[in-house]
Structure 1
């Protein structure tokens, strides 16, 4: 597929994304422990009980990693600032941690990269996890403190700030399904986390707006809710999943209300007087981040507790994660956000990518399947722009093969291959294909 940066509007930002715990190495720089460390240390939670203590050693190798972004002609870099690194106990600042991010942002600017910062990409300091984490309302206020502290150092140089990455993962996946840290399977904890993560967003926005900070947003992930059949029961199940996964967070922010079909199940478990928080949650955004990977097929599961939904494998080709490849879903959500929720507000594709069982052979990684995936989703983005969505950028997930949470180091999403024994970086064919597409005509 022949697409280049010239198929997109002037000023469109092309980049790649990472997250602190997944690449930095939490054993370095006096970083504090986080709930992922203890989750990974618990047998059965993570492949081979692997954790992010070493990861890709981006803490020391960041200059070369930024060079990779620059060499691929990228315009921006989406990174996250670890709460546990900046505030190891969740409260007090670690100078070494905040200095690291100071150097990192300066390094981006020196290479002509726009820094797109995410405040929370899942590193809950263990000291705050001990007091209930996102089930505890006080954690939301501590997050606002962290937001202020890191922004006082970096806020004058970053292009944009996202408060939270993927609140569905933070809340539902982690507190109801138990797949991610802290690994709870508790509907009361899930209901509180689903509300408190948005309250933390609201408190952070309020704090940063008070400091005069501009260009504030949030990054939401979306899952295309297809149905197994056209039966009313399966349609109802898919609609409920759409409410839990897709609508809860965007409607909380843009409509100051939660979907009624989800409240039928979560309502009895919500914090007291949660309705009073909705104006704070619903403050104006400057931009919206859309993360999209796949679709799932849903069916009614009679005789099972709420939400009584079962997921059925679909027929389309799948990635190494077992996720269907469905670029049409990205077009759907970009246009849906514009039409139903945010109007002409700038939208960024903040994550889109695929895991593949990539092999390094004779110094080369041939991942043509990822090239096809990437350019198909770029084409879907281009079509969404033509159909009226104000999409301003696209960040591939991920720059590097990295620590893939509960999958450990098993699943590879990167444009750049990482040998986790030697930490050697090898750009894959997808990296080179994207670099060619983003090269500018210089007349040379």
Structure 2
């Protein structure tokens, strides 16, 4: 498929009236003030030597907890319709924790920015474990508490962020918190997160909330060749990273062969998991090229994969890459969205792109502008082909704590000096601001 990134110097196509433009962040990556909340699994993980590449932690991060007024002003200056942030479950469990989000939501509303909270973005309270079924019930209780406090002003909700990555990186491979290296024994983590989503949807609706979705990460899976072994490996990878997290939500069932590996009364649980949602969030970064196992391990997004896995991840050749080494493939977003439409049909609710972005250094970040421009055009192309997409959120507002990479990767539209915490809008901030103004003219 030919690459068509467009020309950042030409106007972007017009999106429909009411299309939701926003940016995204997450609590653990920007808030800091770790001593003013209960610990999470990420606090425990980053305290272990060697877990984060630069040895850093998110104890201060961007200090958004104390500087949120400055960040709301940046959002207002950018001109976004909405701000997707996450709520720290450990902070809500701490005295006065909900007061912070109460203030933040008030400030967003006063600035004309719609608050879109995500209830779980990987920072599980340290005393909980997704291997335990009870964590799903605890999550629903927490969701009800948050909705009871914020639901009079929050009109759009996200339950979970990227349960696939949290399962794979945090529990199967051990490179994210909590650091489990369980491989396929991590599958209960996936099931319990999906169950938590379904229970939370019910709890949110009982509290009067509406407009509820989830933020799942997805990308096309490209076989390394048409050889049977490569095709089989790619199909398995697609099941584990894409279909295992979409089909229980949209179809009420796991892909063939997966349900038998899950704990509990799976049939009864799936009725809860498939509680209807109002929209489906997709985080997109790149396709993955997959082949049969190789003698040596390969990499997934810069993460070493063990050789004993039944697939290997191969390089997508001939593409520019970000500073993270991820290939830049805008047309993969078009392929993904039209593929979802074709696979799930009327069972697919309206889609929102809840994350899309890239890591590049520098204030004059022309590569980021080209990346975002190409992906917005690819998104519009999918919409002209009949995919119902209602919004697009850039990852991320701020340079932040990038999990196991520490502060080495910069995804922000706004540069953060991690010594002084000074915020400096980049060229991409001005570009996105101008895009939004043009869309409203």
In the superposition, the TM-score normalised over structure 2's length comes to: 0.92
> 1:398 Cα deviation (Å)?
0.3
Whether 1:153 and 2:149 are equivalent positions in the alignment is yes
- Please state whether the residue corresponding to 1:320 is helix, strand or coil: coil
Deviations 1:298-317 (A, max 9, x none): 11016898751011122111
Q: Are 1:42 and 1:49, in contact at CA under 8 Å, matched by a contact in 2?
A: no
- Please state whether the residue corresponding to 1:223 is helix, strand or coil: coil
CA RMSD of aligned residues (A): 1.9
Structure 2 residue corresponding to 1:45, chosen from 40, 51, 58: 51
Whether 1:127 and 2:127 are equivalent positions in the alignment is yes
Structure 2 residue corresponding to 1:253, chosen from 249, 253, 256: 249
Alignment partners' CA distance in 1, 2:226 and 2:341? 27
Structure 2 residue corresponding to 1:271, chosen from 240, 252, 263: 263
Whether 1:225 and 2:251 are equivalent positions in the alignment is no
Q: Are 2:157 and 2:212, in contact at CA under 8 Å, matched by a contact in 1?
A: yes
- Please state whether the residue corresponding to 2:290 is helix, strand or coil: strand
Q: Are 1:233 and 1:299, in contact at CA under 8 Å, matched by a contact in 2?
A: yes
Alignment partners' CA distance in 2, 1:385 and 1:223? 17
Which position in structure 2 is the counterpart of 1:347? Answer: 351
Evaluate the alpha carbon distance shift between residue 230 and residue 223 of structure 1 in structure 2; reply closer, same or farther with a 3 A threshold. Answer: same
> 1:277 Cα deviation (Å)?
0.5
Which position in structure 2 is the counterpart of 1:368? Answer: 366
Which position in structure 1 is the counterpart of 2:92? Answer: 86
- Please state whether the residue corresponding to 1:45 is helix, strand or coil: coil
Alignment partners' CA distance in 2, 1:422 and 1:59? 15
Q: What pairs with 1:158-173 in structure 2 (closer than 5 Å)?
A: 158-173=154-169
More displaced stretch, 389-398 vs 329-338: 329-338
More displaced stretch, 347-356 vs 166-175: 166-175
> 1:42 Cα deviation (Å)?
1.3
Structure 2 residue corresponding to 1:65, chosen from 45, 60, 71: 71
Q: Are 2:219 and 2:333, in contact at CA under 8 Å, matched by a contact in 1?
A: no
Which position in structure 2 is the counterpart of 1:409? Answer: 407
Q: Are 1:175 and 1:184, in contact at CA under 8 Å, matched by a contact in 2?
A: yes
Evaluate the alpha carbon distance shift between residue 437 and residue 139 of structure 1 in structure 2; reply closer, same or farther with a 3 A threshold. Answer: same
Q: What pairs with 1:245-394 in structure 2 (closer than 5 Å)?
A: 245-260=241-256, 262=258, 267-268=260-261, 270-301=262-293, 307-315=309-317, 316-341=319-344, 343=346, 345-356=349-360, 358-359=361-362, 365-394=363-392
Alignment partners' CA distance in 2, 1:329 and 1:81? 30
In the superposition, the TM-score normalised over structure 1's length comes to: 0.91
> 1:169 Cα deviation (Å)?
1.4
Give 5+ residue unaligned stretches, structure 1: 89-93, 360-364
Alignment partners' CA distance in 1, 2:45 and 2:270? 31
Alignment partners' CA distance in 2, 1:441 and 1:221? 27
Which position in structure 2 is the counterpart of 1:397? Answer: 395
> 1:49 Cα deviation (Å)?
2.5
Give 5+ residue unaligned stretches, structure 2: 1-7, 296-305
Deviations 1:15-36 (A, max 9, x none): 11000000000425x2110000
Alignment partners' CA distance in 2, 1:384 and 1:261? 31
4+ residue segments displaced more than 6 Å: 302-306
Alignment partners' CA distance in 2, 1:333 and 1:6? 20
Alignment partners' CA distance in 2, 1:189 and 1:230? 30
Evaluate the alpha carbon distance shift between residue 194 and residue 410 of structure 1 in structure 2; reply closer, same or farther with a 3 A threshold. Answer: same
Which position in structure 1 is the counterpart of 2:303? Answer: none
Which position in structure 1 is the counterpart of 2:194? Answer: 198
